[in-house]
Amino acid sequence: MGIVIEGWVRDSRDGLLKVLRGEGLEFSEVEFRPGNWPMPPRLLFDGINVEPDTPSELYITDTTFRDGQQAFYAYGVEDVESLFRLLSELDNGSGRVVRSEFFLYTERDRRIVRAVRGLGFKYPKVIGWGRARVEDVRLVRDNGLDEMVMLMSVSDIHIKAKFNTTRHRAAEKYLEAAEEALRSGVALRCSLEDVTRADVVGFVLPLVDRLVRLSERYGVPMVIKLPDTTGVGVPYPTAALPYSIPKLVWLMRHALKLPSNAVEFHGHGDYHMAVANAVAAWVYGAGVNNGTLLGIGERAGNVPIEALVVWYGRLRGSFDGMEPRVIAKVVEYFRRIGYNVPRHQPIVGGNAYATAAGIHIDAQLKDPETYLSMDPSIVGMRQVVLIGPYAGKAGVAHALRRVGLNVGKGDGEVERVYRELVRLYDEGVLREPISEEEFLRILGSLNGDDSK
């Protein structure tokens, strides 16, 4: 199996060097299957580096109502209206959260699209999602939309195993559907499904080159969307194609001369790399990142929109008009409809801004920056001190102050409560950090009031 791996990396490297030498783009039918199934795909490097090229303008698109609802919940019209309002509040008129994708296949889908369009928000713009079929283009057009995501599977595992066809026939089908859309004035976001397991030089680049020429002929905008469909992509510029997100983006920008706002990344979290890959896509030249609220999506999920908003702030030093405090409202809405936000999920989880270790509590209460890299209120959250077996006297004193007692960590009352908590944890009565209500009950018990 090692020889096979070395073979595909060598072929990928040779193809990349050919493109860098400007030798032209040609379709190939030579089957390309990276990886070493059934093992996780091995990461290898080809020794070729590309440099960062972060665009001056960065954008976010939403697929909560497409990819997001495939894995969680069949949203009703009221759910979608509420969440779409929150997306618009998050954008806050900034034009940063620019698109939201919607299915159109069922009557429920179409009712939803009519409802959100009726809200009249400029951002995010409502766009359709469909397959590379003429009938799907007509469905988009018949529902009053002028833009769609068009799915185009580009890996051999999809073309040959899923569709039982050749690359040439697949490309002709995609180009026919794209031309139908462009001819009728429908802007396209061509979604190159499974691009991180595809033959980038022998199929992807020649296909995109022809798609772009179609767009230029009809004068209708086109975006090339790069979906890391199975989450195998990596953020390393020296990793081999097709896994290197920096290289994929770099080729779109520099080999095909696409502007940054015509390159979009769509990530998945199968190997815990969705956010890292999305950030790499921005840093290496893609102007657009696609995600879902809370990262809810197929299998291990998508890039969380809240992560994109925070990373936008890190890359730009500003949110440029977005209102990140809306993120807390998003969390609350999902909890109301039955979604349990994982406690340790970054940015939005209950533990995201929590500390439970006594020495950390003491330092954080003196200066929150000691253990928090940003103010949680930026995203509508607050710092939390958890009372557990290692909260120490500083944690106990903080908890007592929160329930109205004016104490310092050297006071006798703090010592008494601290010893009782240690006992309860030592004896196994308590195991997890306790809530304020549980703390009050323990305090009442110590004071002889079992009603608390």
**CA distance from start to end of the chain:** 65
What is the predicted pLDDT for the residue at 358?
73
Distance CA 372, CA 374 (A): 6
Distance CA 407, CA 397 (A): 6
What is the predicted pLDDT for the residue at 450?
55
What is the predicted pLDDT for the residue at 68?
87
User: How crowded is residue 1: how many other Cβ atoms within 10 Å of its Cβ?
Assistant: 10
What is the predicted pLDDT for the residue at 141?
97
What is the predicted pLDDT for the residue at 449?
66
Greatest distance between any 2 Cα atoms in the chain: 85
423 phi and psi angles, rounded to 5 deg: -60, -45
* Residues in Cβ contact with 376 at an 8 Å cutoff, skipping those fewer than 6 apart: 352, 353, 382, 383
What is the predicted pLDDT for the residue at 3?
32
Residue entry with tokens 């990276």: 34
The rounded average pLDDT for each run of 10 residues, N- to C-terminus, in the chain (452 residues) is 56 90 88 89 94 98 93 90 98 98 96 98 98 97 98 96 94 98 98 98 97 98 98 98 98 97 98 98 98 96 98 98 98 96 95 84 85 96 89 90 90 94 94 87 83 46
Distance CA 349, CA 200 (A): 38
What is the predicted pLDDT for the residue at 72?
82
**C-alpha distances in Å from residue 139, one per residue of 17, 186, 271, 425:** 42, 11, 35, 61
* Residues in Cβ contact with 205 at an 8 Å cutoff, skipping those fewer than 6 apart: 19, 25, 251, 255, 256
This prediction has a pTM of 0.93
Residue entry with tokens 């944890």: 425
Extract the tokens encoding 256.
């095909």
